[in-house]
Structure 1
Amino acid sequence: MQMEKSGVLWAGGSYIIWGFMPIYWKILEHVTSVEILLSRVVWAFILTLLLVLLMRHGRYLKEDLQTLWRSQRNFWGLFCASALVSTNWFMYIWAVNHGYIVQTSLGYYMNPLISVLLGVIFLKEKLSGAQKIAFLLAATGVTILTLSYGVFPWLAFVLAATFAVYGLLKKQIKLDALRGMTIETLFITPFALMYYIWLFVDGRAVFFHADVKTDILLILTGVATALPLVMYAKGVQRIPLYMAGFLQYIAPTIMLFLGVIVYHETFGKIDLLSFSFIWSALLLFTASKVLEVLKAKKNNLSEEPI
């Protein structure tokens, strides 16, 4: 029980940080989304590498790289995962700093449903009747939004899809969370450094060309990236998967609150209607998963010898 409580604190804390992250990116809105992404990649790599070395796990990191290289499928799978999560980070930062926090919230509400759909398609997982209804409800919500906007909410979909495919790839590659993130950022860091050098040469880099506050905030993007991911990794190891899935709705709920209440983004009756369909889908989906787990536990107990 104590282990589960600490797991909820770790995982819940990570989602709370992710939920309030738009405030951080808003403070840096005078910096281009590309440069924020470059800083995030480079400083996250430096931070995670330092942590690995301080923990004296350098040889394990080397072994992980060697193991990955021997399995080219896993090596390039993780490379693709790294590219996808970098794309997700960029789109998220761009969306926040261009007044689309509500759409980012929608994207992260859609994420678990797309993840399950990918599981059905690629991992041959089965859906219950309730889960199929949940997908129909979510699809109805997205359709209403599409008709009201006149265009498909592509930003929300890209955020949801990139993170869902990233999760699918990561699920098939077993790595320690901290070392795995070090390797992921290692893949992208050379490209990020080359682009950053070009920004400096072209005179468009803000880093070292603005104020000290901006420089510190750009450096701390590494902490903002790594801290919640490490907290999440520690948390999900100690709690059931369905509980982790339920907790992940904390982040988009906070984002939605920030977008509407703090940053005054539009959220009319049509938005409320479509979000209501998606919230209903998530509640139905989560409830069905909880019932599945409880039923499985009950069956296991009844099968145990007296």
Structure 2
Amino acid sequence: MENNNETQSRGKYLFAAFLAPFIWGFMSISVRWIRDYPAEDILYFRIVTALLVLWLYILLFRRKSLLLDFHKFQSLSRKGKIRQTGLIVLAALLIFGNWFTYIYAVNHISIQSAALAYLTCPLITAAAAYFMLKEQLTSWQKIALLIAFGSVCILANGSLIDVLWAITIAVCYAFYLIIQRISTGFDKLNQLVIQLSICALFVIPKLFYNHHDIPTTPIFWSTIVLIASLFTIIPLFLSMYALIKISSTTTGVLLYINPLIAFTLAATYFQEPVSPIKYVAYSIILVAIVIFNINAIKQTFFKPAGR
């Protein structure tokens, strides 16, 4: 009975890890709505809007949790405070870099370059988690990663520019996940609002000295609010929440859902030209996801009767 409860509890975190990249997969649609605006403007207003929404929510409904984390931080040793502060600042810098490079790639490189980034990201995350966090991999998981690596090599056999942008985007988010796994003991939503606040320290001065006019069109601001809430706060919190119980490697591999959706949108909704080999490569990646999570799938959906 205890194992059954543990499986159900872990299933909740696994679902959160799945839902985050699933939501992100559709983000390119909203980003394309405002492609005529500079990438940095989209990023700056995304961060500021997300920060305002999140602070409003926390101050209205989660003040007790914020105060508890504040006292917890105060009780840390000097070394502990420096460590936690360093992790938060580094996480903020990495997510800031990830967002900017992703938006620029979607609007000025190609949707497929952004999709390739989130194909590369799980491999970098798995390697970093294995060497830095000593996360163990089963034989099936190692096979799945090798299959995924082969597929990524097929997809990377194209534009060098696409590949370089993809690696930059991927490295930023992979190490962001690693840091979230290391940074424990504090409420994930409170950590997120602090990270966004640090990002805002870089953004707000830029807004004052921005050479572009502040957008006034309703489509821009409605899209920014959508990106800030649905495609920023919710999936980031879900991924951070998942890392409470799910390994960085598993969370990283589930990121493959993002490019699978992005690839489908690129080929159908955006009508980008896609070579037949890419359909094969993405199909192989889908198989790799199933193989990697085969044990979790068995435990969640094929539990023995009476347990």
TM range (shorter): 0.7 to 0.9
Q: What is residue 159 of structure 1 aligned with on the other side? A: 169
Q: What is residue 19 of structure 1 aligned with on the other side? A: 25
8 Å Cα contact 2:125-2:177 kept in structure 1: yes
What displacement does 1:98 show? 2.5
Q: What is residue 271 of structure 1 aligned with on the other side? A: 278
Q: Secondary structure at the match of 1:153?
A: helix
2:155 is equivalent to residue 145 of structure 1:
yes
Of residues 71, 90, 112, the one that matches 1:63 is: 71
What amino acid is the match of 1:74? Q
What are the residue-to-residue correspondences of 1:276-287 with 2, within 5 Å? 276-287=283-294
What displacement does 1:36 show? 0.9
Of residues 202, 206, 215, the one that matches 1:195 is: 206
2:90 is equivalent to residue 83 of structure 1:
no
> Which sections of structure 1, spanning at least 5 residues, go unmatched?
302-306
Q: What is residue 105 of structure 1 aligned with on the other side? A: 115
What are the residue-to-residue correspondences of 1:210-225 with 2, within 5 Å? 210-224=216-230, 225=232
What displacement does 1:148 show? 3.9
Identity, in percent, stands at 26
8 Å Cα contact 1:6-1:238 kept in structure 2: no
Q: Secondary structure at the match of 2:293?
A: helix
Q: What is residue 258 of structure 1 aligned with on the other side? A: 265
Q: Secondary structure at the match of 1:135?
A: helix
Aligned length, in residue pairs: 291
Q: What is residue 43 of structure 2 aligned with on the other side? A: 37
What amino acid is the match of 2:67? R
Q: What is residue 184 of structure 1 aligned with on the other side? A: 195
> Which sections of structure 2, spanning at least 5 residues, go unmatched?
none
8 Å Cα contact 1:134-1:284 kept in structure 2: yes
* TM-score, normalising length: structure 1: 0.79
CA distance in 1, matches of 2:168, 2:43: 17
Of residues 114, 122, 130, the one that matches 1:120 is: 130
Q: What is residue 53 of structure 1 aligned with on the other side? A: 59
8 Å Cα contact 1:242-1:290 kept in structure 2: no
Deviates more, 1:168-177 or 1:111-120: 111-120
CA distance in 1, matches of 2:177, 2:247: 17
* TM-score, normalising length: structure 2: 0.79
CA distance in 1, matches of 2:12, 2:87: 32
What displacement does 1:229 show? 2.8
What displacement does 1:128 show? 3.3
8 Å Cα contact 2:21-2:257 kept in structure 1: yes
Q: Secondary structure at the match of 2:183?
A: coil
1:144 to 1:195, Cα distance in 2 relative to 1, 3 A: same
2:234 is equivalent to residue 227 of structure 1:
yes
What displacement does 1:157 show? 2.3
CA distance in 2, matches of 1:3, 1:128: 21
Q: Secondary structure at the match of 2:121?
A: helix
CA RMSD between the two structures? 3.5
What displacement does 1:250 show? 3.5
What displacement does 1:77 show? 1.8
8 Å Cα contact 2:243-2:251 kept in structure 1: yes
Q: What is residue 304 of structure 1 aligned with on the other side? A: none
Q: Secondary structure at the match of 1:262?
A: coil
Deviates more, 1:71-80 or 1:184-193: 71-80
What displacement does 1:280 show? 3.9
Q: C-alpha offsets along residues 25-44 of structure 1, whole Å, 9 cap, x if unaligned?
A: 11111211111111111122
Q: Secondary structure at the match of 1:227?
A: helix
Which 4+ residue blocks in structure 1 deviate beyond 6 angstroms? 1-9, 235-246
Q: What is residue 169 of structure 1 aligned with on the other side? A: 179
